[in-house]
Amino acid sequence: MVDRRTLLAGTAAVLLATSAEVPAAVAATRVTSGDWSSPGLAAPEDENLPKFFKTASGVKVQELAPGSGQEAKAGDSVLIDYVLRRNNGYFIYSTIEGVSFQPRDVPIGPIRLQLGSGSEVIEGLQDAIVGMRQGGKRRVLIPPELGYVSSVLQPQPPTFATKRQLANHSSESLLFEIELLRVLPA
């Protein structure tokens, strides 16, 4: 039987041995919370990407592909694919298969939205879609006051988990990547 003092002495020796000097090669790769060498959002913008512009309502829009078809107007119905992320890039939902770590049982596919006054589409998304041409793609940053100010606004993710995540982050700006597949005139 080992007495308590011998056990404590052995434990202390093991702890001291494991806290010994770390090799220089390992120490050089270690990142601490004080290391700000990664520029993150402060990184210079890629000059090859289109610039964001701001709508009158405050929505930031980046035209990724202009499209060449019919232009969407208020009163039209549109068929879109979209990817919804939080403003920090965390994935919430997509209508496109294989975009992120979305479970296979989550329904996907384009959705139909009715544009114009009285519709239940979030205001910021309407601002971004009106004026788009069929086939166009945009990245849109929607401020919270133009986003999901009500739980009935569209588009809504299909599952409880994704709806809950959206509700938890409705007070944040949201990032949509939208592709206008079809314009259905009023």
Name which residue leads in pLDDT, 40 or 77: 77
DSSP reduced 3-state for 62: strand
* pLDDT, position 11: 79
Residue 131 corresponds to which tokens in the numbers above?
A: 């004026």
* pLDDT, position 9: 79
pLDDT tens track for 17-34: 666 565 555 555 554 444
Going by DSSP bridges, is the β-strand pair 91-94/137-142 parallel, antiparallel, or unpaired?
A: unpaired
pLDDT tens track for 111-154: 999 998 778 999 999 999 999 999 999 999 999 999 999 988 99
CATH of 50-184, picked from 3.30.70.640, 3.10.50.40, 3.40.640.10, 3.40.50.300, is: 3.10.50.40
Give the closest residue to 180 by CA, choosing from 133, 118, 116, 131.
Answer: 133
DSSP reduced 3-state for 35: coil
- Calculate the average pLDDT of the chain: 83
Residue 50 corresponds to which tokens in the numbers above?
A: 């289109």
